[in-house]
Structure 1
Amino acid sequence: MSEIHPPYYTQSPVLFIVFNRPGLTARVFEKIKEAQPAKLYIAADGARNSREGEDELCRQTREVVSKIDWPCEVKTCYRENNLGCKEAVSSAVTWFFQQEEEGIVLEDDCLPVNGFFKFCDELLELYRHDTRIRHITGCNLQRGKKWGAASYYFSNITHVWGWAGWRRVWDGYDKELSQYSESEAEHQLANIFSHPMVVEDWTNTFKRVKAGEIDTWDYQYGFLNYFNNSLCIIPNQNLISNIGFGANSTHTSDANNPNANIPTEEIGSLTHPQYFLPEKQADFFTMDQDLSIAKRVRRNKRPNRRIKRWFKTLFK
């Protein structure tokens, strides 16, 4: 018979970002309740006038998070008008880090295990002043593959499905990418990624975000970390399940996506990596899943020799 341990109570302040999904919000909020943060920040965007009944869903969602039954300092940022994903989420995170030096950020579709909070607490403290490390995530998209013998590995990728971070990093956040130029982006991205297709895709994404064609906040955060040669922490066990894939989601509408509802595992005592280097093959695996690099190489009947050589060395 396995021993039952009491839940871990987090030491870090938590930001919970919600909108119009009371059912999902309730599931994630139960895990926050279990961790009992002493400081809880709740941010909610306003309803869209064009969506009939959304005002009621937003009201129900806010009702869910009002039921706080543990000792807790609560601060809220409830929008009356709809700002959209880019502005609502980025302004919520800015509001949070204006008041806290560090903390945990969860959105309404990011369902954590209890150990996620302990993972974040320990690493926020350990790397508080280590400027090599700029981001901690709870999600692992490696399909069971582990990288190294430690509890986590380092990556260049900034996953935001349940994460923790520091004001020292968010202070450089640039919602409009105004500090970076299109003419330099491709060259700088090539210093990070060796595969030309990856560079091309990220360059195009950079251009679209800068042109305002994508209503999101997280690409900008990713570029901030890319261009600062950052290391991001990814656990070797998945601590977050994204439960929001489906028709009602803004950016994750495909319920059959392999990244939807990935099973989670609890994590025990942490062991730390000896080397502070990104796992490039792990990053390529993630990008290949998103960008279909391998399929595109195979479809091209005469890929250039540089791509063929690179692809062969990666999978030796």
Structure 2
Amino acid sequence: MMSDENKFIPPHTLNTAVLFLVFNRLDTTKQVFEAIRQAKPPRLYIAADGARTSKEGEAEKVQLVRDYITQNIDWDCEVKTLFREKNLGCKYAVSGAITWFFENEEQGIILEDDCLPSQSFFWFCECLLETYKNDLRVWHIGGVSTIPNSIISNDDSYYFSALNHIWGWASWKNRWEKYDVDIVNFPEYKENENIKDVFNRKLWQKFWLSNFEGVYSKKIDTWDYQWCFATWANRGISIVPTVNLIANIGFGADATHTTESDAKMSNRAKKEMQIPITHPSTIRINKKYDEYNFKYLFEISYFSLFLNGFKKQLKKILRFN
């Protein structure tokens, strides 16, 4: 399933477009850009939110990031930019950039400025974008894996999951077109108890309904819960690799949403996956692996969730942004 990172040899030239979401962190941007530069996508989309007027010196940082990328594209590729003059915030800047991307591409790969990919991540996504482009059961291809080798029961390169982690991912235009940043259909979804089709545990149902309610009532300012909602409302599932292909390098004081208190998630090393990919024999959510994500990974029992406040703890597990 995997090989040493420095031994990965691309099977062919990459044919898939990449959307690179950046903002004000030149240090992490340089590292992720170098991985993109090594992969040499034929089309590179760069989207950057505008600086916040309340943050002294941020305009200069934002400009440095934009200049660095545009001045260091040294391979043959088509470049498109979406550089915002005003700050829209995470909710509208990110979702708007992804919409812009899929207005130009039928399918593609999306990376934020703190999600450092292995090289095989690009070809993993490209293969599966082609494999499942006409299978509307599959909505999301992720790069993050939290499953240890000790519990993997076969040689498959990936499994199907209810969760669509967004630290490096890929999808299709016709799926993203179902995305609604305001999730106006949430009341009907809640009334029909459709969340039961996704999770059978009341704890998880309550958590997700609470967050969807926060988005719907505009009390939560984000973009990614809406992607979960769109996926589940359309009975979509996600792909998760059995080896971790993304290292999050964005934890710290400069992070917009990730902080040192969540730093345990940053310690997962990225690895390379062997190509060609080994496919599962059936398209079905692996409940064993999903249960591991819920119960075991962070050594948080259901009992401790109640003691410490389940919502706070679950956000550390599930909201990878």
Name the structure 1 match of 2:44: 40
Name the structure 2 match of 1:295: 303
Q: Find 1:155's aligned residue among 155, 161, 164.
A: 161
Pair 1:99-2:104 in alignment = yes
Quickly say closer, same or farther: Cα 1:147–1:193, change in 2 above 3 A: farther
Pair 1:126-2:131 in alignment = yes
Q: Write the distance in 2 (CA, Å) between the matches of 1:53 and 1:91.
A: 25
Q: Write the distance in 2 (CA, Å) between the matches of 1:290 and 1:179.
A: 33
Q: Which amino acid aligns with 1:190?
A: K
Q: Write the distance in 2 (CA, Å) between the matches of 1:97 and 1:262.
A: 30
Q: Find 1:20's aligned residue among 11, 21, 24.
A: 24
Pair 1:83-2:88 in alignment = yes
Contact 1:246/1:252 (<8 A) preserved: yes
Q: Which amino acid aligns with 1:27?
A: Q
Name the structure 1 match of 2:272: 266
Quickly say closer, same or farther: Cα 1:185–1:218, change in 2 above 3 A: farther
Q: Find 1:253's aligned residue among 254, 259, 270.
A: 259
Name the structure 2 match of 1:314: none
Q: Which amino acid aligns with 1:115?
A: S
User: How far apart are 1:248 and its partner, in Å?
Assistant: 1.6
Q: Secondary structure at the match of 1:257?
A: helix
Quickly say closer, same or farther: Cα 1:6–1:183, change in 2 above 3 A: closer
Q: Find 2:227's aligned residue among 198, 221, 225.
A: 221
Q: Find 2:285's aligned residue among 274, 278, 301.
A: 278
Q: Find 1:63's aligned residue among 58, 63, 67.
A: 67
Pair 1:141-2:138 in alignment = no
Contact 1:15/1:105 (<8 A) preserved: yes
Q: TM-score, normalised by structure 1?
A: 0.88
User: How far apart are 1:194 and its partner, in Å?
Assistant: 1.1
Contact 1:151/1:235 (<8 A) preserved: yes
Structure 1 stretch 94-103 or stretch 205-214: which is displaced more? 205-214
The structure carrying a bigger helix percent of its residues is: 2
Name the structure 1 match of 2:316: none
Q: Write the distance in 2 (CA, Å) between the matches of 1:156 and 1:183.
A: 17
Q: Write the distance in 2 (CA, Å) between the matches of 1:157 and 1:65.
A: 31
Q: TM-score, normalised by structure 2?
A: 0.87
Quickly say closer, same or farther: Cα 1:297–1:121, change in 2 above 3 A: closer
User: How far apart are 1:299 and its partner, in Å?
Assistant: 4.9
**Structure number with bigger Rg:** 1
Contact 2:21/2:48 (<8 A) preserved: yes
Q: Find 1:241's aligned residue among 228, 247, 252.
A: 247
Quickly say closer, same or farther: Cα 1:147–1:24, change in 2 above 3 A: farther
Name the structure 2 match of 1:179: 185
Q: Write the distance in 2 (CA, Å) between the matches of 1:142 and 1:224.
A: 25
Q: Write the distance in 1 (CA, Å) between the matches of 2:119 and 2:154.
A: 24
Q: How many correspondences in the alignment?
A: 299
Q: Write the distance in 2 (CA, Å) between the matches of 1:282 and 1:4.
A: 28
Contact 2:8/2:272 (<8 A) preserved: no
Q: Write the distance in 2 (CA, Å) between the matches of 1:159 and 1:271.
A: 21
Q: Write the distance in 2 (CA, Å) between the matches of 1:146 and 1:245.
A: 28
User: How far apart are 1:25 and its partner, in Å?
Assistant: 0.3
Structure with the bigger RCO (C-alpha within 8 Å, sep 6+) is 2
Q: Which amino acid aligns with 2:111?
A: L
Q: Write the distance in 2 (CA, Å) between the matches of 1:146 and 1:286.
A: 13
Quickly say closer, same or farther: Cα 1:290–1:212, change in 2 above 3 A: farther
Q: Secondary structure at the match of 1:181?
A: helix
Q: Write the distance in 2 (CA, Å) between the matches of 1:291 and 1:206.
A: 26
Q: Write the distance in 1 (CA, Å) between the matches of 2:195 and 2:304.
A: 20
Quickly say closer, same or farther: Cα 1:148–1:219, change in 2 above 3 A: farther
Q: Secondary structure at the match of 1:274?
A: coil
* RMSD between superposed Cα atoms in Å: 2.2
